[in-house]
Structure 1
Amino acid sequence: MNVDTGITSEVFTIKSEIKLIDIFNSIISKKSEAVFEYIESLNIDINTRIIVIGTYFTGVGIVKRLSEKYKNILLIDIYPHLEELLYTDLGGDLKNRVEFSSDIDLIYSGDIVIDTTGFGGITPEQSSKLNVDAFVIEDPVAEDNDDLLKKKNNIHERLDAVKCLNKAIIKTKGIDTKTSGTMTLTIGILTNLLNRFLEMEGVLYCACEMGFFEEVIFKQKDIEKFIQQTDINAFKVSTIKPFDLDEIIKAEISKINSEMIT
């Protein structure tokens, strides 16, 4: 446990060993493992062409996990600079293990297609041109607790439009967030825990490290800056009674569940 004295010797500052990027990776891993197990259940050849559409962040995690076994993987994203994510702590060293392209027409070249684009991503019309062995799509809605998002969600139209026998939905939820996005779930964890820590006896105040990283990634297009900003302790708490921050963070992460709906 990372403990230091605060303003006086009677008050302590405790910091989590868990970093922000660790929370991202934990959520991504849950989604990726669910997809990997589903692909495994199809009993496909390791050289089967697998196309993953969408890099941020589920796509990176999925290709990372699949590349541990499968040899013919293409990640497609309309933002060319997102290829850099493949070579960070989120993606690991995926050079020579995963192809990357921004040519959206290549989505039709796969045997298995995994669509992680969520709201405003691949359209039902594009989906209708797919003729594949399996199609997997991520549901961007988590708990069905927002009517506008529910109406906006068109994954079932996209799913129905695809010509294939094997279809599945990645469903991730567990902490009462509106969407299943890794960023949304991370913010949900941080918010839930901030409220919980403040209710604990002896806690003066607490803070978490969080920014609006979409601007860094999509506006500034600075992947290195994003990694630097997330490679920091997730929480700091001022308290007169130190406790194990990391165990509580792990317990909150464990509430998130990702499963395949077929």
Structure 2
Amino acid sequence: MWKEDRLLFKKAFQESLNGVRKGDKPEETAAIREAILKGKFGVVTDNPEKFSVFRNTLAMFGIKNVVQVDVDTNCFDLEQMPSLAKALAGRYFRSCDFYIARGRLGLPGSGAFTVIVDVYGNVVSGVSSPPHHLHKFSLETALFFDVFRLLRRLGISPVHSGITDKTQTFYSPFTVFDVAKRISEMKAEVLKNFTGGSLLVIGGYLDGIFIAEYLKNNFKQVFLYDKETSVMALSPCDKPDREKFDVIIDLTGFGGIDVKKGQAGRFKADIIVSEEPSGLGLLETGKKPDFFLKMNYKSKTSGTMTLTIRTIRELSARLEDLKDVLYAVPNLFFAESLLFNVKSSCSFLDVMEIPAVTVSVRRDGNFKVDYFEDLLSDILQEIQFELAKA
């Protein structure tokens, strides 16, 4: 079934050989999506329970032609990448368009890897997950999350029948993590006029990991500091290698780091900006920065997780007001426990990377996926941030 697209991929290979390749193109990913949705899938496993979870999760994305490739997979643990070896071996045991397998990533203790290969042995998609003793999910839950992310990363969204034939289930095209990132970027927009040689962002959860990335072109060097190692594992930036900076952005909020003129904790800077944590609730911080990042919105605090949860709840309520929506479910989980108690950044991301809202609608209605984005944009426009001199 790849015959129609062979020329498309051949052209991509030629671009690489000629040194003119600029990255993946929308039409290439679209071709992969179309082939996946039309193709026959072989799940390479001798475990019937694992096959059942694979089949049922793939069905949520409209992939119904799924068969088990029953192969004793123990021998593949001797390979350098056991999961990939499983998927590739499946081609010799059953005729399919794609083969999917989950197994160990590499060395014992390295965690799991779920991968899709096509009939030619090309890797189409893959996601890794941490060792079980770190994420502590059941096999079924971990497998569900992996397959979900495996297909979502290609832009394939789940849409399937509801509890009855007269209903249908839709998922938002954006995740909980996406909503948090957009809110953080709104805060970062207020800070974009700050420039200099060095920036230190204090407080990685949850704004810091986004804001540091958003402002990286404004400074020659950008650092992020958080006392939690699991939070630092999410950071795109290095830990600080000095104590003096041009600008410090303090995002620790209520109960956070002490800030006085020119100093935040043990760090010093010419300019210090602190996020004002108060919303509808007054949260005294006693901080004395040069500027405050303030919020104007009907939320108890300005924290991005607080705002994310409130936004997704509000989105669910507005979706339920639509004529054809029977009910809307905000997919919220207390992910902080995974990050701060279990100390697993990978598990935190797994939970945050599921669709933000799921709705059940009348099949004979006219609900469109675009409604998710339309209503989310309306809500986010109501949230305002400003920079105020302290």
Question: TM-score category by the smaller chain?
Answer: 0.7 to 0.9
1:110 equivalent among 232, 238, 245: 245
Unaligned 5+ residue runs, structure 1? 87-93
3-state SS in 1 of match to 2:230: helix
Is 2:190 aligned against 1:34? yes
Change in Cα spacing, 1:170 to 1:7, as seen in structure 2 (3 Å) is same
> Per-residue displacement from partner, 1:172-226 (whole Å, max 9, x unpaired)?
343x110111100011111112222233333322212111111111111111111
Change in Cα spacing, 1:124 to 1:66, as seen in structure 2 (3 Å) is closer
**C-alpha root-mean-square deviation of aligned residues, in Å?**
2.4
Aligned pair count reads: 226
3-state SS in 2 of match to 1:14: strand
Change in Cα spacing, 1:85 to 1:54, as seen in structure 2 (3 Å) is same
1:186 equivalent among 284, 291, 308: 308
What is the rounded CA distance, in whole Å, between the counterparts of 2:167 and 2:312 in structure 1? 23
Aligned counterparts, 1:222-261, within 5 A: 222-240=344-362, 241=365, 242-243=367-368, 244-261=371-388
Structure 1 equivalent of residue 293 of structure 2:
170
Give the aligned residue type for 2:231: L
> Per-residue displacement from partner, 1:72-97 (whole Å, max 9, x unpaired)?
222121112322111xxxxxxx3xxx
What is the rounded CA distance, in whole Å, between the counterparts of 1:184 and 1:71 in structure 2? 32
> Per-residue displacement from partner, 1:129-165 (whole Å, max 9, x unpaired)?
87632111101112xx22xxx1x422xx322xx5xxx
2:287 equivalent among 148, 152, 158: 158
What is the rounded CA distance, in whole Å, between the counterparts of 2:211 and 2:320 in structure 1? 36
What is the rounded CA distance, in whole Å, between the counterparts of 1:76 and 1:128 in structure 2? 11
The sequence identity of aligned pairs, in percent, is: 28
3-state SS in 2 of match to 1:221: coil
What is the rounded CA distance, in whole Å, between the counterparts of 2:328 and 2:238 in structure 1? 42
Structure 2 equivalent of residue 71 of structure 1:
220
**Structure exhibiting the larger radius of gyration computed from Cα positions:** 2
Is 2:273 aligned against 1:136? yes
Structure 2 equivalent of residue 22 of structure 1:
178
Give the aligned residue type for 1:199: D
1:13 equivalent among 169, 191, 196: 169
User: 1:127 touches 1:158 (CA, 8 Å); kept in 2?
Assistant: no
Unaligned 5+ residue runs, structure 2? 1-156
Give the TM-score, by structure 1 length: 0.77
Give the aligned residue type for 2:274: I
1:128: Cα distance to partner? Answer: 8.8
Give the aligned residue type for 1:136: V
Structure 2 equivalent of residue 220 of structure 1:
342
Change in Cα spacing, 1:179 to 1:226, as seen in structure 2 (3 Å) is same
Is 2:209 aligned against 1:60? yes
3-state SS in 2 of match to 1:132: strand
Structure 2 equivalent of residue 89 of structure 1:
none
What is the rounded CA distance, in whole Å, between the counterparts of 1:10 and 1:25 in structure 2? 35
Change in Cα spacing, 1:82 to 1:129, as seen in structure 2 (3 Å) is closer
1:250: Cα distance to partner? Answer: 2.4
User: 2:244 touches 2:268 (CA, 8 Å); kept in 1?
Assistant: no
Is 2:342 aligned against 1:211? no
Relative CO higher for 1 or 2, CA cutoff 8 Å, sep ≥ 6? 1
User: 2:327 touches 2:359 (CA, 8 Å); kept in 1?
Assistant: yes
1:67: Cα distance to partner? Answer: 1.5
Change in Cα spacing, 1:112 to 1:3, as seen in structure 2 (3 Å) is same
1:60: Cα distance to partner? Answer: 1.5
User: 2:192 touches 2:218 (CA, 8 Å); kept in 1?
Assistant: no
